[in-house]
Amino acid sequence: MILPILKFPNKYLRAPTEPVSFPLSPEIKKLAKDMIGTVRNADGIGLAAPQVGKSVKVIVINLEKSGVPLMALYNPKIVSKGLKRVEIEEGCLSIPDVFGMVKRPKKVTIEAQNEEGKTIRFSDDGWIARVAQHEIDHINGALIIDHIKKYTQGADIVKEWKEEKVI
């Protein structure tokens, strides 16, 4: 099932999230499956549960076009960060038409659980690291507009939000 992707300033995007427990409930299994269908359908590279109105710690990373198998991660967190930070343009499915430069650590170590509840830990310094940081931000209620200082597109939209005090 393709789920509607909530758009900023929807309140779910800032809401606290609950960890998921194992074995996964049928609801969470269905959520992950639907999130995978939804991110593929939107041609996005990642999606987090709050973006579809679920306040739980589930993210999917869709870098299949770069040859990376699709990943669903449960209770993901960044456990260490490299010192080197890089600035890359980012957008967000929940913030259409807004893009800007986001500075993040290049290399991170991610710890999460897989669908069997097994803890996995891996490091990356490429696109997986970038997308994981963006999606883990989502489950912590953080958005690219909190990071961007230089907009490459949609600065006028953000200016209006600032005037309306939704940011």
Q: Could you list the residues that contact Zn ion (CB under 5 A)?
A: 92
Q: Which is nearer to Zn ion, 92 or 108 (CB)?
A: 92
Buried b or exposed e, range 88-110, using 16+ CB within 10 angstroms:
eebbbbbbeebbbebebbbbbeb
CB of 49 to Zn ion, least distance (A): 12
Nearer to Zn ion, 28 or 143 (CB): 143
Active site residues: 135
Note the Cα 1 to chain centre separation in Å: 19
**ω into residue 9 within 30 of 0, thus cis?**
yes
The number of residues in the chain equals: 167
Query: Considering the complex, what minimum distance in angstroms separates the CB of residue 47 from Zn ion?
Result: 8
- C-beta of 95 vs 112, nearer to Zn ion: 95
* Least distance (Å) between residue 30 CB and Zn ion: 21
Q: How far apart are CA 141 and CA 122, in angstroms?
A: 23
Q: Which residue is nearest to Zn ion (CB)?
A: 92
